Amino acid sequence: MDELAEESKKGANATDGVALPQEASVSHLTATSGALVNVQPQVQNNNIGRDLYIVTNISNICGMLAIQPQQPDQYSITENYNDIIQRYEYVKEYNVILGENLLFKKRYTDLLIIQKQRDRSEKKKEICSKGETFQDYLRDIEYEKDKYRITSVDQLFCPEDDGKMPKATVLQGNSGSGKSYTARWIMLRWAQQELYTENFQFIFYLDCKEFSGTSDHITLVELLHYNQSLTQEQILWILKNASKRILFLIDAFDELRPLKSKTTIISLHTSATPEDIICALLSGRLLRESFLLVTTRSMAADRLGKLLKHPQRFTEIMGFSEEGVEKYFETFFEGKQVSHTQAFDRVKINETLYTACSIPVICWIVCTVLSEAEEAEEEDEDTTRDLETTTSIYVHFMLTMLEHHSEGLDGSIQSVMRSLSELADEGTKNQQVFFDKKLVPKEISDPANVPFLCKFLLKRVRLVTMFSFVHLSLQEFFASLHYTFMEKEELQEDVGKMLDSLKIHQDLHLLPVILFLFGLSNDNVSDLLSDTCDLSSFACIRTFLEEWLLKALPRARKSLDGQRTEMFLLQCLYELHDRGLARKAVESWGKVVLHSNPLRRPDCWALRYCLQCCPRIPSLSIRGCFITADKMRMLQPILRKCDELMLMVEDLSDNDVKDLILCLDEQTDLKELRVDDSTLSEQSLREILDVVGKQKSVGRLEISVQTVTTGTAVLLTDFMKNKDAKMLLLMDNDDKSLYSSVSMSRKDDDIILNIGHGPCPQTKPSLSEITLICPHAHISDINWTNIFQTFYDVKSVTESCPEFEKRLDALQSALCSIMGLRHLELRVKSLTSTWASRALTLLQNSGSSFYISLEENKAGPINAEALYSSLTVLIKDGHFTLSVGEYMTHEFLKRQSPQTRAPLSEIVLTCPCSELSTANWENLLHIYDNIKSFSEECEGFDEQCDALMSFLSRVPDLKELNLKVMCVTERWASRGFSLMHSCPGLQHLGIVTDGELLRRDGVEEGLCVSLSMANSNGDFMLSIEGRAVATGGLLGFSCAKSLSTQSHSSLSGLSLTCPHSHMSGVTWIHFLRLFQKVNGLTDSCVAFDEQCTTLLSLLHSVAGLKEVGVTVNILSQSWATRTLHLMHSCPSLQAIRLTAGVEAKGLLLEEGIKILQESDRDPGCTLTLNGWRCHKAFEQCTGEGDWSRDCNQRVQLQFCGQTCTEKCLN
C-alpha cells in the first residue's frame, strides 16, 4: 500500500485522463493532451470561443466524468488475488462435465520454450522429423541451450545482457501448443504470490477471443473491469499511478481482426473498440511505461511485430520435450487405474503418435482416450479402438481443433478441409513442406485462421511469407483426406495409379499417405469423420485396398522390395484394424520374413497385432532387425505361437533371460536363435540351454555371453551331446575372456569345433584359433575340458616363453587323443619352423587333414620370424598334397617393392601317401624360405631354384606340381619343361602368375600369364594363357602407343597336344616368345599378321600334332582363313577348338562362319567354335563388347567333314 501511495504522488500530474477542479464549473473545462477536447477553447462570460471538437459520445463523457480514481486498499487487493485464484485454480478441459473439478497445479507441465528465431532448415527439420528423430532434435535444442536460448515462464522478463527488461515479450506457438494454458498459469501463480511479484504489482488478463469481432465502444477501464473484482475507480487509479508496475497479458492476439486504422487517438477515457484499445497498448500509444506479454500463433507474428513497442523479446513454444510428455502422462494418470508408465510405453511404440504428443492438445487427447479405453476394458466395452491407430488419433485432433480453435474460419468446414487436403496432396507428391501464399487455395482466404497451418518468414532482400502444416505428419494426414472428397471413379483411378507404381524403397514420401488411407477405411474412423467429410464415395476404396494388400507381398518377394514391403503391409493391416483381414492376409502369405531392416517399436506393435489375429503362425523369421529386450517383450505373445521360428535378439542382460525363455514354446521348431551383443552369465546360459533343449527341434544357436570360460564352453559340448542341433556358438563381450568365441556344429555325421581368440593389438597370442572335425559318435569320449584348457595355455604365452614347448606338447597330446580326428586347422601368430615341425608330426600320427596359417598384422611391419603364411597338408584317396605359400594380398604388396617381392609365392605338390615318410619335407620348406628371400636378379637365386628342382625331381612318383610366381619368365618356363621331361610320372605341372600381381600396374611382362603342361596316355599337352588386354608386347612403345588401353588381344590363349615322345623336338622357349609377341597385339596393329603367321608356322613343325586350341577376341574373316590354313598344313591334326573371347564372351562373326562353311575342310579334322552369334538379319553386331546384347545367343558350331551342326548353349 505504501508503494501505491508513492505511485499516487508521482502520478498527480499525469497527462492521461481528465482533471476537474472541485469548484470548477463547466465553463472552466480545459483539455489536456490526450483528453476529450483536442483544442483548448477560450471561455469568457460563459461563452466558448474558438472551435470545440468532441471526440467521443456525450453519454460516455458523463460516465467518465463520474468516475474518480480511488486507491485500492489491501482488502480489495487481497480480494482481487482471491478472485483470480478462484477463476484459474481449476483447469477447464474440452470435455469437462458439470461438477468436475481439476486443479491446475496437478495438470500443468513445463513447456520447452526458446528465444531463437529459427531459420528455414531448422524449421524443416522440426516439421519433417518423427519419433526418436524428432526427440533427438528436441534433445539437441536442450543440449545447445545457449544457442537456442532456452528459457522458461519464470524468465520471460529477465533483463537482457545490457540490464534492461523487455517492455514486450511475445510468446509464439502453434494451435494447441499451450499458449493460453501458459497465460492462465501465469495469472494463477502471480495471484498466489509465486511469480513476477517483484516485477509487477498488477497483471491484467485480456483474452482476445472473448471480444474479437465486437463493435461496441468501451474504455480501457471498462474492458479491464470485465475480468476483475476491482472497481472501475480502483482500476483507473492503478492505471494512472502504477503504470510502470503493470503487466498486460494479452492472450490470442491472432484472434484480433486486422485494424483499418492504426493512428486512432486513445486515452484512458477514450471509448473505442477493444481491438483499438489493445493495439494502442501494444504500440505504446497508451500507457507506454506498462509491460506486455502477448501470446500468438505464428500466423499473426509479422502483424504483431510491426505494431509492438520496444524493447521486445521473442519466445517460441516448442511443445513438450520427451521428459515433458512423460511428466504430463504422470500427472494425468495420477490416481487412475492404469499407470502412467504403461500408458506412456504404449504411446512410445507409435512413432507418429509419439511425435504428435509433443503438441500439448494431442497429448491431452491421447491421454483422455487411453484413460477412457482402460475404463471401458474394466466394463468389457470395446472402446479401445479410439486409440488403436495413428489415423484415429489424428482424426480426434482434427475434430478437437475444428471445435475449439477455428472460430475465425471463413466458409464451411467442409470447403476449408477440401482446400487444405488439396494443398497437402500437392505438397506431399512434390515432397514440399513450405508453401508460398499464392499456392494456398483461394477458398482459404485467411490462412492465419486455419489452426493446422503455421507461418514462417523467410529472410531474403525482403521478408517472404511462407506457410506450412504444423508437422509433416499432419500434412500427410490431410493428403489422405484429399481422396475422401473425390468421386468414385476418380478415386479408384488415382489410388490405383499410386499403388500400381509404388516402389517401397523409392516412394518413401507416399507411404504415410497410404497408411492413412487404410486408417480412414476403418469403419469406426469413418463414423468419426461422417459430419466433417462426405465419405460416401470413399467406402468403395476399402475393397480396392484389400485386394492390393493381398497381392502385393507375393509380387514384392520376387524383387528387392520384399523385406520392406512385408513390414509396410503389416502396418497397413494395423491401420485398417480388421482382425479378419489380418488373419486372412497372414495365412495367405504362409510365412513372415523380416530380415536386415531395423524394426521400430511401432513396427513391433503392428507385427504383434497382425499375428495375434492368427491361432498359429506357420513360420516367422526375424533377423538383423535390432530386437532389444523391450521389443522382445512386446513380441512375446506371438513368438510362442510360431510353428517355425528364427529369432535374433540383442543387448540382453541376465534380467531379460526369463522374458526370452517365455518367448519359446516347446512345440516350436526353433530353426535359429541368436542372442547378440549381450552380457549373459554362465547361469543364464545354462537356463537358456535347458529350455532350448526342450524345443521340438533346434537348428542354429548363437549366444553372446559376458565371458567365455572353460565352464561355459563345456556347457556347449554337453548340449551338443544330448541335442541334435546344427550349430551352437558362444561369443564373448569382454576383453578378459579366455576365448572370444567357441562354436560347435553338426554336419552329416561329423562334429566341428572352433575355438577362437580375437586379435589383440597389444599382445597377439601365439595361437589364436583352432578348428577340428571328428565323428559325432565320439563326442562323448573326448575330454573337452582338456582341449579348451590346453588351447588357452598355449595361446596365453609367446614362443619365447620357457613354458611354450611344454604347453605345446600338452596341446598336441590332447589333439592326438581325439578318436577319428580327420581335420585340424590352427591359426598362429607366426608360422615358424617350430609350428611347421609340429604340423608334420601331427600329420604322421593322425593322418588327418591339416591346415596352419600365419595371422598377419597387416597394419604393421612384415613379420621377419615367419617362414611363410600358410602350410596345408591333405591326405585323401591315398594321395598326399602339400601346399606352402605367401599371402600376396594388396596390403602386403603395397609394403614391398618389385625388387623385394618373393619370386615364388606358392608351391603345391601331390604324391602317393606311401611316399610321405621318404622325403625330408622340412628341407623343402627350408629351400622355399630361402627362395623367398631372393629376387631373380640376385646372385644366389639360380642356385636355390636348382636345389628346389633337384628336390622335386627326387620325390618318388610326384604326380602334380603347381608353382605360383611373380612373373612367368624364361627361366621358370625352362625349369618347368626340364622337370616335365625328366619326370615321366609327373601328370601335371603348372606355372602361373599370382592373381594379385596381375591386378597391379607396373608388373613385369612375362612370357605369358600361365603355363600348364600335362602327360596323359602318352601325350604331352601344353596350354598357354596370355593377357586379355593388348599392351604392345615386346614390339616397343611405338606400337603400344597406337593401341587403345581397352583393346583386347587378338590372340589370348593357345593350347596343343602331341606325343610325349616328340616333346624334346620343339624349342618351347622360342614358341613362348612368339606367343608373347602376338599376345600383345590386336588385328589392327601393322606387325600382327606377320607375327601371327610366324607363330602358327611353328605349329606346322610339331611332329604328330593332334589337337590345337586358340582363344581369339572375335572370329573374323582373317581368323577363319588362318584356321583353315592350319587345318590343311598339319595332316596329323585331328581337332581344332576356337573360342571367341575370354570365357567364350566374344562374337562369332558371320563373315568368318561363312568362309568356314563354304571352304573345303579336312575330313579327318573336327573344328569346334564357341562364342556368341548375332541372329539379326541386318546390322549385325561386330564390336568386342556387343556379345552381351539381347540379339546374340551363345552357340557351339561343329564342322566335321562337310557337315556343320549348331547347338544353343544358353
The C-alpha cell that represents 802 in the structure block: 620357457
- How far, CA to CA in Å, does 1119 sit from each of 1044, 1073, 1110, 1114? 21, 21, 10, 8
Using CA atoms, how far apart are residues 664 and 808, in angstroms rounded to an integer? 43
What's residue 5's pLDDT? Answer: 47
The C-alpha cell that represents 528 in the structure block: 468419426
Give the 3-state secondary structure percentages of the chain, helix then strand then coil, rounded to 5.
45, 20, 35
| Residue 345: band (very low, low, confident or very high) from pLDDT cuts 50, 70, 90 | confident
The candidate with the shortest Cα–Cα distance to 102, out of 399, 384, 367, 402, is: 367
Q: What is the pLDDT of residues 656-702, one digit of tens each?
A: 999 999 999 888 999 999 999 888 999 999 999 999 988 888 999 99
What percentage of the chain reaches a pLDDT higher than 70?
79
What's residue 58's pLDDT? Answer: 40
What's residue 506's pLDDT? Answer: 66
Q: Would you say 171 and 294 are in contact if contact means Cβ atoms under 8 Å apart?
A: yes
What percentage of the chain reaches a pLDDT higher than 90?
32
Q: What is the pLDDT of residues 502-544, one digit of tens each?
A: 776 667 778 889 999 999 988 888 887 876 666 666 777 888 8
Least reliable range by pLDDT among 113-122, 471-480, 568-577 = 113-122
- Per-residue pLDDT at 212 exceeds 70: no
Check residue 626 and give left, alpha or beta (phi > 0: left; psi -120 to 50: alpha): left
What's residue 539's pLDDT? Answer: 73
- Per-residue pLDDT at 798 exceeds 90: no
- Per-residue pLDDT at 967 exceeds 50: yes
Q: What is the pLDDT of residues 1006-1036, one digit of tens each?
A: 889 999 999 998 899 999 999 875 444 433 3
Residue with more model confidence, 894 or 685: 685
| Residue 1143: band (very low, low, confident or very high) from pLDDT cuts 50, 70, 90 | confident
What's residue 300's pLDDT? Answer: 76
What's residue 932's pLDDT? Answer: 78
What's residue 247's pLDDT? Answer: 96
Q: What is the pLDDT of residues 593-611, one digit of tens each?
A: 998 888 888 788 889 999 9
The owner of cell 569382454 is 734
Crossing angle between the packed helical segments 541-556 and 488-500, to the nearest 10 degrees:
10
Ordered DSSP codes for 686-740? HHHHHHHTTSSEEEEEEEEES-B-HHHHHHHHHHHHHS--SEEEEEE--TT-SBS
Q: What is the pLDDT of residues 103-143, one digit of tens each?
A: 888 888 999 898 877 766 776 666 566 555 666 666 677 76
Using CA atoms, how far apart are residues 1106 and 1135, in angstroms rounded to an integer? 7
Angle subtended at Cα 218 by Cα 212 and Cα 224, rounded to the nearest 5 degrees: 75
Q: What are the backbone angles phi and psi of residue 699, rounded to the nearest 5°?
A: -105, -100
What's residue 375's pLDDT? Answer: 58
What's residue 929's pLDDT? Answer: 85
The candidate with the shortest Cα–Cα distance to 325, out of 602, 93, 139, 92, is: 139
- Per-residue pLDDT at 863 exceeds 60: no
- Per-residue pLDDT at 827 exceeds 60: yes
Q: Are strands 1107-1112 and 1135-1140 parallel, antiparallel or unpaired?
A: parallel
- Per-residue pLDDT at 559 exceeds 50: yes
What's residue 1045's pLDDT? Answer: 39
Kind and range of the H or E element at 132?
A: helix 131-143
Q: Are strands 879-885 and 870-876 parallel, antiparallel or unpaired?
A: antiparallel
Provide Rg for the chain, Cα atoms: 45
Average pLDDT estimate for 287-307: 86
The C-alpha cell that represents 494 in the structure block: 488415382
What's residue 542's pLDDT? Answer: 86
| Residue 1183: band (very low, low, confident or very high) from pLDDT cuts 50, 70, 90 | confident
What's residue 417's pLDDT? Answer: 84
Q: Are strands 741-747 and 112-114 parallel, antiparallel or unpaired?
A: unpaired
Could you tell me how many residues make up the chain? 1210
Least reliable range by pLDDT among 51-60, 570-579, 835-844, 1154-1163 = 51-60
| Residue 739: band (very low, low, confident or very high) from pLDDT cuts 50, 70, 90 | confident
What's residue 505's pLDDT? Answer: 61
| Residue 14: band (very low, low, confident or very high) from pLDDT cuts 50, 70, 90 | very low
The candidate with the shortest Cα–Cα distance to 1119, out of 1086, 1088, 1073, is: 1088
What's residue 1027's pLDDT? Answer: 82
Average pLDDT, the chain: 80
In angstroms, how far is CA 1100 from the centroid of its own chain? 65
- Per-residue pLDDT at 261 exceeds 60: no
Beta-carbon-side half-sphere exposure of residue 641 (alpha carbons within 13 Å): 16
Q: Would you say 652 and 675 are in contact if contact means Cβ atoms under 8 Å apart?
A: yes
End-to-end CA distance of the chain: 104
- Per-residue pLDDT at 28 exceeds 60: no
Q: What is the pLDDT of residues 32-87, one digit of tens each?
A: 333 444 444 444 444 544 444 444 444 344 444 457 889 999 989 999 999 999 98
Average pLDDT estimate for 756-777: 75
Kind and range of the H or E element at 1173?
A: strand 1166-1174
Average pLDDT estimate for 635-643: 94
Average pLDDT estimate for 960-964: 95
Residue with more model confidence, 8 or 923: 923
Least reliable range by pLDDT among 238-252, 415-429, 498-512, 1158-1172 = 498-512
- Per-residue pLDDT at 759 exceeds 90: no
Q: What is the pLDDT of residues 1066-1084, one digit of tens each?
A: 899 999 999 999 988 888 8
Q: Would you say 1022 and 1042 are in contact if contact means Cβ atoms under 8 Å apart?
A: no
Cross-strand bridge partners of residue 875: 880
Respond yes or no on whether the N-terminal peptide bond of residue 441 is cis (omega within 30° of 0). no
Burial of 396 from C-beta contacts in 10 A (0-12 / 13-18 / 19+)? buried
